[in-house]
Structures are given as C-alpha cells and as structure tokens.
Structure 1
C-alpha cells in the first residue's frame, strides 16, 4: 500500500510538471496532464497489474482521467490478460479502475475475449466486472450476457449476471419448441 501511495504521489508530481496534447476531459485552467504514464502495484518483486495510458489528467486529487488506457493483469509475474478502451478513470481512494468506450478484455492464457461498453477492476479484490450488455467469445462460441459479467483477473470462472431463462410450462410447449 505504501508503494502504491508513493507511486501515485510521484505521478501527480510528474503530471504537475507539464504535458500537452488534445486530451481535455476537464475544461478547467488547472489541468495537470502527463503523457505515456504507467501506474502499477507490485508484491514480492512481481507486478500484480500495470495500468498504462497515452495521456492522464491528474487535476482531480482523488482520481486520474485516462486516454486510451491499457490495463495489464499479471499472474505469478506473467501477463494473464489485458483490458483496453478509449477512456478510463483510476480512483485512488477506492482503488478502482474504470475502462470504457468499446472496452475489451483479451486473455493471454485462454482463447477468450470479453467485450462491453465498460469494465471495472477492483484492485484490492482482484476482480473485473461489467454492468451492461457483454459479449463473451471463446473459440467459435459467443454468449451474450445482458446484465454483465463478473470474473477474477485470471478469467477462469466467469459469472453471468442477471441471467434469466424461461422454461416451458408443460410437455406440449416443450415439444412445440423442439419441432
């Protein structure tokens, strides 16, 4: 936790030193921009996750606004999955990363891609979830989860949220649907 706090303090300081570009999520004159930023957390000399972005706005002291974020999730020091999107937010206090805008999770260990408008990553709980329509593609099979999904960073167990299935009321209806 201390390492993460020191890292974030250093990044805020770097952001205050300048930066330029067309990335302007806030129109305030006090914007603090930095480009090509990496934020990470490590444990036992291994990175647990790495968040990179083309540009970051550090103007808000509680969160950073990200342009083209790329969240790299790691398992035992090896890359396990990547989460990408057009924009994002890293909330320092909640330790929550939000990536949105054609967001995609690509597993590097499984033949799996998960797509949604927005994904959330809870740093402390090491879990990822979406809250809207989500498409899971594994090999040639596609599943649409209308209420979102929840999974760990390994993407091994995926829970489909708010899934409903209507069963036939009687044998006649069952036979009618199978013909």
Structure 2
C-alpha cells in the first residue's frame, strides 16, 4: 500500500526544480514515503541546496516545504553510519529491509532498485505505487500491511465489522502484537 524510498539528500537538494518535482510526488496519499536516512535528512537537504548555490528565495521555499513535509519524510528506524557515504548506508539498509527504490545521482546506481530523479514518474515500475491491496486476514499479514501507514499516523481508527474484543469471539489483538505496535 505505501512504499518506502531512500532519497539521497544531496540529489534532491541539488536544485530547486528537482526538489520541487520530487517532494510533490511523495506522501501517504501518493503511496510513497521518503525514509529519514539519515536522521537529520531535512538538514542534509538544506545543506546540499546551500552548497549547490540555490538562490535565497528558493532556499526559503525549500525550508518551508520541508517543514510541511512531516507526512512525507518518515523515520523508519534505519541505522546510519555517519563515517560512510550515504549510498553505502542506503545499500546496507536495503540489504536488511529493502526500499522500493533508491533515488540518487546517475554515477551512484549500485543496485537494480536505484533510479535517477528524472526517472521518477508513474510510468517507471520502481516508482509506480499502489494505494490499495488485498490482505489476507491473518495477524501477521494485517500488521505488515499497516506498518508503513502507522509510521505516519498519530491515531488509527479500526473500522471492521468483524472486530470483536469479547473473550471467545476471536483473537483480534494478535494483529497488534504482531509488530504493529511493537514497531512504533
């Protein structure tokens, strides 16, 4: 339902047009979230924009858009080694828990799931995002499907005609114990 993407801060911050085009393509409503890799991802984007010489008016817009992008950039508890390059961290984390894609500059494409910012369109298989899917009614499958969604949620309302917490009516708390709450 919602896919996690690794987006290199230096790549998205390199120029205003790249930033604007990419940031507008993310959000839970679009089925795509940016992984906060590293933890100070937004600061790294601003730093990259400054180093690239983005004009002050555009810098103000980048800073404002980043402050309103809390639902687009999410912390998925990824490890980050500040001594290593961003792409090395992204590839290591991708090997542990795969991203849908790794968005970086052309020279850094080190895996099949790497793509350049110019390729980020719904026509590209790695960027296409489904906003719904059928889920088997098991605790593990439901928890897995809801994992990314709960990462951007402050409150979750369960609307299910079969949800019943009364003893002997089913074990509906297994979904919560299967990692939905444990991963938050």
Higher relative CO (Cα under 8 Å, sequence separation at least 6) belongs to: 2
Higher strand share: 1
**TM-score normalised to the size of structure 2?**
0.23
Larger radius of gyration: 1
**TM-score normalised to the size of structure 1?**
0.23
Higher helix share: 2
